[in-house]
Amino acid sequence: MSDQSGTRRGSRKQMGLFRRIETITPLLVFPLIIYVVIAVLSGGNHLGDAAAITGSLNTILFSVPMVSDVSWRMSVGDSILLLSLILLSIEIMKSTSSRSSAMVNHMASMGVLLACLICFILFANFATATFFLLTIMTLMDVMVGVIVSIVSARRDFGVGDGFGN
């Protein structure tokens, strides 16, 4: 019986570690990794134009015929942006926590933003509208995360309107 409760405690500890890693990891790093893989696989040099990756990003994943006799098409770049928007929404919800792990998440998000800015400025395969919008989403993640954390911390500590002079 004690062996069974020991394994339960071990699995709880493991779940706690997984939960902490999930809380600390900025989710927008995953679309960044996907974009980096596509950029590396599409080739091209870092000094030329971004034509090598443009073809890869414009590859149509699927199309749906519409009533208006046109087809709605979802490209690889569009799907990266869609994934990024969904993950940004989750990141905003995660930023409402005032735990220390949320603060680590904000610092890691700042690192992702810095990596995006460096790649956007230095490498031709990253000078695309898709990557620019991904970079803006990482900027929004950092800004909203910090602002929401400050507001929730002020509320937690009772600082603000009505508590001063």
d(CA 155, CA 149): 10
d(CA 139, CA 89): 13
Residue 23: half-sphere exposure toward Cβ, Cα within 13 Å: 16
Neighbours of 148 (CB within 10 A): 19
Mean per-residue pLDDT over the chain, rounded? 82
Does the pLDDT of residue 7 top 90, yes or no? no
For residues 44-60, give the mean pLDDT: 75
d(CA 88, CA 121): 22
Query: What pLDDT is stored for residue 14 in this prediction?
Result: 63
Query: What pLDDT is stored for residue 43 in this prediction?
Result: 79
Query: What pLDDT is stored for residue 159 in this prediction?
Result: 54
Token representation of residue 51:
């034509």
Candidates 56, 105, 101; CA nearest to 78 is: 56
- String of b and e for 25-58 (b: at least 16 CB within 10 Å)? bbbbbebbebbbebbeebebeeeeebebbbebbe
Q: What is the pLDDT of residues 80-94, one digit of tens each?
A: 999 999 999 998 888
11 band by pLDDT with thresholds 50, 70 and 90: low
126, with CB counted inside 10 A (0-12, 13-18, 19+), is: buried
The identity of residue 110, as a single letter, is M
